[in-house]
Amino acid sequence: MSDANKPLDASDQKKLKARGHGFGASYKPFIQIQDLSSSGESVRAPGRVTGRIHHLLSGIEFAAFSIFDWYHDTADIREQFPLPLEETIRLCAEMGIKHPQIRGKLKIVTTDLLVDFREGPPLAIAVKPVSELGKARTIEKLQIEKAYWEQAGVGWKLFTDREVSPSLKENLQWIRPALADIRWEQFSSEVEDSSSTELITRLATYSEQKATRCCARLDDEYGLEPGSHVQMLRYGVATRQIKAPLQKAYHDWKCSELVFDGVASTQWRLSHAN
């Protein structure tokens, strides 16, 4: 039986009704973390640009997302973006590639990240570890994505772990525990604003000194448990309330390099106003 005559997987059919549509805060990713049998390195992360929770399925994907979420020209990021089934079936037939499927049921092809910019065309990004690129089937699936976006006139990029600097990787590993502790249903940007702005105000006194060392000094000054101010810093960066130079290891950040980011606060309030 040709792929064109095979049915779509029932779970994907159901997802298409409610996911993969919209923009900004209203967008719902086609694949979400709760769909996975094992969460592995997946992470839920707040979007500075969109004001919603993003479902990122790997550490590399989290790294790619973080880079674009802090980029000044980014207007929207849609993760796990579904491609039209009829188009991917046609492209597979033209290229002589078997369409992704499980037990004879077709699966929707998705792009890891679709980034819109304030100026210029959007960019579709496939995220893969280098170790996967030696597999023929992985390459075939990437060819499907690339062909779709090329015909749509959209740029396509392959992002691998080689593009994640050691400092960025270290920073993201440091941030992740803070994300895991957040109860998203109770998250309030107004509360986070208060703690983040207060921390930045306290650190401003030390300007060119390293922030983590100053945090320890502030714990003593304010009579708090050791690590309290560092935790405030980690939480502020994780929730996009504090902007930091992520390509530089967190323990080398200077106080003057940390700033409160009002864009994130505004986006959270707008997206959760209703």
Q: How crowded is residue 159: how many other Cβ atoms within 10 Å of its Cβ?
A: 20
Contact between residue 115 and residue 159 where contact means Cβ atoms under 8 Å apart = no
Does the residue 121 lie in any domain?
yes
Residue 210 lies in a domain: yes
Average of per-residue pLDDT across 74-88: 97
Asked whether residue 178 is assigned to any structural domain, the reply reads no
Query: Can you read off the two tokens belonging to residue 201?
Result: 């105000």
Same-domain status, 139 and 90: yes
CB 184 within 8 A of CB 53: yes
* Whether 235 and 108 share a structural domain: no
Please report, as a single letter, which amino acid is at residue 137.
R
CATH of the domain at 267: 1.10.10.10
pLDDT of residue 268: 61
Indicate whether this model's pTM tops 0.85.
no
The percentage of residues in the chain with a pLDDT greater than 90, rounded to a whole number, is 71
Q: Are residues 156 and 196 in the same domain?
A: no
Q: Are 143 and 208 part of one and the same domain?
A: no
Residues 155 and 204 in one domain: no
CATH number of residue 127's parent domain: 3.40.1350.10
Which residues have CB under 8 Å from 236's CB, separation 6+?
Answer: 192, 195, 196, 199, 242
Residues 151 and 197 in one domain: no
Q: How confident is the model over 6-24, as a mean pLDDT?
A: 96
- Tell whether 154 and 209 lie within a shared domain: no
Domain match, 126 and 30 both: yes
Tokens of 88: 């991917």
**Do residues 25 and 158 both lie within one domain?**
yes
pLDDT in tens, 138-169: 999 999 999 999 999 999 999 999 999 999 98
Residue 211 falls inside a structural domain: yes
CA distance 159 to 162: 8
Does any domain span residue 171? no
Q: Please tell me the least confidently modeled range out of 7-21, 97-111, 172-186, 197-211.
A: 172-186
Give the count of domains, the chain: 2
Domain boundary among 163, 195, 218: 163
> How high is the pLDDT of residue 19?
97
The residue-averaged pLDDT of 80-88 equals 97
Report the pLDDT value the prediction gives residue 239, as an integer from 0 to 100: 81
Shared domain check, 196 and 143: no
Specify whether 244 is located in the same domain as 109. no
Is residue 168 included in any domain, yes or no? no
Residue 242 within a domain: yes
Please determine, for residue 36, whether its predicted confidence score (pLDDT) is greater than 90: no
Q: Which structural domain range is residue 151 located in?
A: 3-163
The reply to whether 119 falls in a domain is yes
Residues 147 and 255 in one domain: no
Give dist(CA 221, CA 21) in Å, integer: 50
